[in-house]
Structure 1
Amino acid sequence: MKKWSLLLLSLGLGITILSNPTTHASSGYTVVKSSFPAGAGKMYHAANPKQNAYVWTTTKHTKKLANIKNYPNTSWHSTGTIVLRHNNKNAVYYRVGAVSPTKTKKWVSGWIWRGYLKPGYNPNFTKVKSIDLDIATNKEYNQFIKQSKYQQLTRDVLALFPNSTVSKPLSRYALFRDPKDKIVNNVATFKTMDDFLNVKSRLTNQQRLTKIKAILETKGYTTVKRQREYVIGIYLTNFQWSDQYATGDMHQGFAIGTK
């Protein structure tokens, strides 16, 4: 898994522009400030799912692209901000792209007034296949694991550690081995586990669980030992990625931290 967001829409450059206002004569809207920070961006969801709230095609504010009320399971990924002036009043708009768990909706990317949005992923993760660890909070990642129908194997593995907790930073460490994500001093990772998780597999979830349990037991994590309180880092998707594992780029990971 590359160290860049799968949702990344920005140019990768942090840009804040304070320049002469740009007025769109046809609409009466003026861009007075714009900012496109570097990084993975931020995630938002509808503040009121039942309210009409429109995404506009351009800053001219003349054509509606979508009504987010019609995108109930969607999160909105923001990579930029502008301040628009209209009738001597300023309003902040976000540049957003739709992140939908289904393929039934067309791709939407445009501008929306920030008052229509709340920070964070859409709290309904039932149909979501994966989320970005660079953007999700610890709470969101735990909700995703509990709710997503695609996270059954993750839930089964965590059931082997009934008294442990899941950490989003440590889950990121399990993938990237970035020291800043190592939130506890003692963290165990296993090459045999990395090898198994990052090679394409057509095994059933039950067969995968059996293999994971066997690897843990060979490393000394017996049923009794797994009753202890650990901090778990875990990121499991679909066992379909192996193209870049030879270079150390993992798509799935597992780590055990000791408090």
Structure 2
Amino acid sequence: MKKLLWLLIGIIIGTGIYTGSQAFASTSYKLVSVKYDSSKTPGYTLKHNGPLYYAKNPKRSAVIWNSTHSKVKHNLKNYPNTTWSRDAVAIFKHNGKKSVYYHISQVVADDKPVKAFGYVWHGYLKQGHNPNFQNIGTVDILNFYNNHEYQRYVKLSPSQVLTRKIMALFPNSTVSLDLAKAGLGLNSATYDISNIISPYDKLPTLNDFLNLHSYNLSINQRYTQIKQLLNANGYGAKRRQQKFIIGIYLSNKYLPVSDELNGQTIVIGTSK
């Protein structure tokens, strides 16, 4: 009888402890406010609307939550080479304390669907493009914050073999993100080429080849043709030893013309 009594007491006490711990663990997060970076629905855009981020510590567990902070959707550590676009800034309240969260969506290439998105504590992120370019393929030129990022991309990305071969023809020249944007025909609000003597050389025959006639050629075939066109436009081996600023945006694969903008470009400028 005593054993049964103590067993019942143990069950009651154990149940109480379990219930209490569960109640504590399930303390809810409340979404206090959310401010969107654009009018588009978060998580479903193909090109970024807001600022870009990457995991500050890619080996650390950093949970991406659903909109009620009740279900784990993803973890930053599983996306070490991903760049994230911020769609919104949210405030969650938990145990009387408020925390800032970002709604982020993975930046995808080639119009692939966005599969990873959700809310993550802002302290897990660092602003800029993911710097692991040695593990990253072709990147949309609009996804670079500055010239340093772009030059690292050209130097390290496996998608930039052709670009590196072309730049090797200009051993004393530098790559310019802003001039590349100008060469592609982007809105002038996206670049600043005030440091370059105007007008820069737009090399129309070379850019016509890149955008209209190079879609079915290999890297080596495109390289050979580009070199020939450079020579034909007055940029032979001797002149290429000079210091130029090169606006170049290429990939190992053909990048198509889109929205009346060049998909690829090589233009040449001189520093003021």
On whether the aligned pair clears a TM of 0.5, the verdict is yes
Q: Give me the CA root mean square deviation.
A: 2.4
The code of the aligned residue for 1:32 comes to: S
How many residues align structurally?
228
Determine if contact 2:31/2:90 at 8 Å carries over to the other structure.
no
Q: Matches of 1:215 and 1:80 in 2, distance apart? A: 47
1:154 aligns to 2:167 (yes or no): no
Q: Contact 2:255 / 2:264 at 8 angstroms: preserved in 1?
A: no
Q: Name the structure 2 match of 1:32.
A: 33
> C-alpha distance in 2, partners of 1:106/1:248?
25
Q: Which residue of 1 aligns with 2:270?
A: 258
For 2:96 and 2:210, locate their aligned partners in 1 and report how far apart those are by CA, in whole Å.
Answer: 57
Is the strand fraction higher in 1 or 2? 1
Query: What's the offset of the Cα at 1:66?
Result: 0.6
Map Cα deviations across residues 123-149 of structure 1 (whole Å, 9 max, x no partner): 111232222322312111111111111
TM-score by length of structure 1 reads 0.80
What percent identity do the matched residue pairs reach?
A: 37
The structure with the largest helix share of the pair is: 2
Of 204, 215, 237, the residue aligned with 2:218 is 204
Change (3 A) 1:106 1:77: closer
Letter in 2 for 1:157: I
Are the counterparts in 1 of residues 32 and 92 from structure 2 also a CA contact under 8 Å? yes
Which residue does the alignment assign to 1:134?
A: 142
Q: Please give the alpha-carbon distance, in whole angstroms, between the structure 2 residues aligned to 1:78 and 1:121.
A: 12
Are residues 1:241 and 2:256 paired? yes
**Once the 2 structures are TM-superposed, how far is the Cα of residue 234 of structure 1 from its aligned partner?**
0.6
- Once the two structures are superposed, the pairs formed by residues 10-29 of structure 1 within 5 Å of their partners are 27-29=28-30
Distance 2:211 2:135 in 1: 23
2:245 corresponds to 1:231: yes
What whole-Å deviation, never above 9, does each CA across 1:187-222 have from its counterpart, x for those lacking one?
Answer: 111221121111252222111111111111111111
Instruction: Give the 3 Å change call, closer, same or farther, for CA 73–233 of structure 1 in structure 2.
Output: same
1:9 aligned partner? none
Displacement after TM superposition at 1:177 (Å): 5.1
Letter in 2 for 1:30: L
User: For residue 78 of structure 1, what is the aligned residue in structure 2?
Assistant: 86
2:117 is matched with which residue? 109
Q: How many Å separate the matches in 2 of 1:47 and 1:195?
A: 41
Q: Is the 8 A contact 2:30 2:94 kept in 1?
A: yes
- Distance between the aligned counterparts of 1:112 and 1:253, measured in 2? 37
Task: For 2:210, give the aligned amino acid.
Answer: L
Q: Does 1:195 align with 2:208?
A: yes
